[in-house]
Chain A
Amino acid sequence: MIRHLAAASLLLSTACLAIGPAAAADPGITDTEILIGDVEPLTGPPALLGVAASIGHKIAIAEANAAGGINGRKIKYVLEDDGYVTARTIQGVKKVIDVDKVFAMIGISGSGQSIAVMPVLEKSGIPSVIDVAPVKFLWEPPRKNVFVVGQSYEEGIIHLVNFLADKNPGKKWGLITQDDDYGITVRDGFDTVVKAKKLNVVYSGNYKKGQQDFSSDMLQLKDSGAEVFLAGGIISENIAMMKELEKLSIKPVTGIFWPGRIEPVLKLMGPAGDGIYAVDYVEPFAGEAGKAFLEKAKPLVSEAEFKGINRYTMTGYAAAKVLIAAIERCGKQPTWACTIAELEKTRNVETGVMAPISFGPGVRFSNQKLQIMQADTATLSFKPVQ
Chain B
Amino acid sequence: MQYLIQLLISGLAIGAIYGLIAMGFAVIYKSTGLVNFAQGEMTMITAYIAWTISTTVSGNVFVVAVGAILAAVLLGLVIERLVMRPMLGEPVFATVMVTIGLAVILRSAINFIWDAYPHGLDIGMGRGIVHLGGIGVRTGQIAVIVTLLALLAAIWAFFRYSKVGVAMRAVAADDRTALLMGISATKVHALAWAASSVIAGIGGVFFALSYDLSPAMFQLGLKAFPATILGGLDAVLGSGLGGLLIGITENLAGGYVGSGMKEVAGFAMIIVVLMIRPFGIFGERDIERV
- Interface residue A23 (Cβ < 8 Å from any Cβ of B): no
A152-190 CB contacts (< 8 Å) to partner B: 176, 179
Say whether A216 contacts B116, CB under 8 Å.
Answer: no
Going nearest first, the 5 A-B pairs with the smallest beta carbon separation are A216-B254, A215-B10, A47-B116, A205-B259, A208-B263
Q: Which residues of A contact B129 (CB under 8 A)?
A: 246-247
B258 to chain A, nearest CB (A): 8
List residues of chain B with CB within 8 A of the CB of A235: 118, 214
Q: Is the CB of A248 within 8 A of B136?
A: yes
Tell me which residues across on chain A come within 8 A of B212, comparing CB atoms. 236, 239-240, 268
Contact of A219 among B6, B14, B110, B120 (CB under 8 A): B6
Residue among A51, A239, A240, A247 making CB contact with B136, cutoff 8 Å = A247
Q: Is B108 an interface residue (CB 8 A)?
A: yes
Residues of chain A within 8 A (CB-CB) of B216 are: 45, 210, 212, 236
* Residues 14-49 of chain A, each 1 if its beta carbon lies under 8 Å from chain B, else 0: 000000000000000000000000000011111110
Which residues on the A side are within 8 Å of B207 (C-beta)?
Answer: 212
* B138 engages A216 (CB within 8 Å): no
Find chain A residues with CB under 8 A from B259 CB: 176, 205-207, 216-217, 220
B27-75, CB < 8 A from A: none
Apart from A43-B112, A208-B260, A211-B262, what are 8 other A-B pairs with CB-CB below 8 Å?
A: A43-B108, A48-B116, A208-B262, A215-B6, A215-B11, A216-B11, A239-B212, A268-B118
Question: How many chain-B residues does the 8 Å CB contact rule pick out?
Answer: 45
Contact indicator A212/B137 (Cβ below 8 Å): no
B10: chain A residues at CB < 8 Å are: 213, 215-216, 219
Interface: A362 (CB within 8 A): no
Given the complex, which residues of A lie within 8 Å of B7, measured CB to CB?
Answer: 215-216, 219
B177-196 toward A: CB 8 Å interface, digit per residue (1/0)?
A: 00000000000000000000
Question: In the complex, how many angstroms separate the beta carbon of B172 from the nearest chain A beta carbon?
Answer: 32
Contact of A295 with B by CB under 8 A: no
Interface string of B92-119 (1 = CB under 8 A from A): 0000000000000001101110011111
Inter-chain contact total with CB atoms closer than 8 Å: 125
Q: List 13 A-B contacts (CB under 8 A).
A: A44-B107, A208-B260, A208-B263, A211-B263, A212-B217, A212-B220, A215-B10, A217-B254, A217-B259, A219-B10, A220-B259, A246-B129, A247-B129
Docked-complex contact A51 and B262, CB < 8 angstroms:
no
Contact (Cβ within 8 A) B215 A45: yes
Contact of A264 with B107 in the complex, beta carbons under 8 Å? no
Question: Using a CB–CB distance below 8 Å, which chain A residues touch chain B?
Answer: 42-48, 50-51, 83, 176, 179, 205-208, 210-213, 215-217, 219-220, 223, 235-236, 239-240, 243, 246-249, 264-265, 267-268, 307-308
Which residue of chain B is the closest to A83 with respect to CB atoms?
B108
When distances are taken between beta carbons in the complex, the residues of chain B under 8 Å from A207 are 259-260, 262-263
A248–B264 alpha-carbon span in the complex (Å):
24
Inter-chain contact B117/A264, CB cutoff 8 Å: yes
* One of B110, B119, B214, B251 near A216 (C-beta < 8 A): B251
Bound: A50/B116 CA distance, A: 10
* Residue contact B214 to A236, C-beta cutoff 8 Å: yes
Give the distance in Å from the alpha carbon of A47 to the alpha carbon of B218 in the complex.
14
Minimum Cβ distance to chain A for residue B245 (Å): 15
- CB of A212 within 8 A of CB of B136, answer no
Nearest A residue to B259 by beta-carbon distance?
A205
Q: Which residues of A contact B137 (CB under 8 A)?
A: 247
Smallest distance from the beta carbon of B261 to chain A beta carbons, Å?
9
* B260:A179 contact, CB within 8 angstroms: yes
The answer for the CA separation of A219 and B7 in the assembled complex, in Å, is 8
Per the bound structure, the CA–CA distance linking A187 and B10 in Å amounts to 27
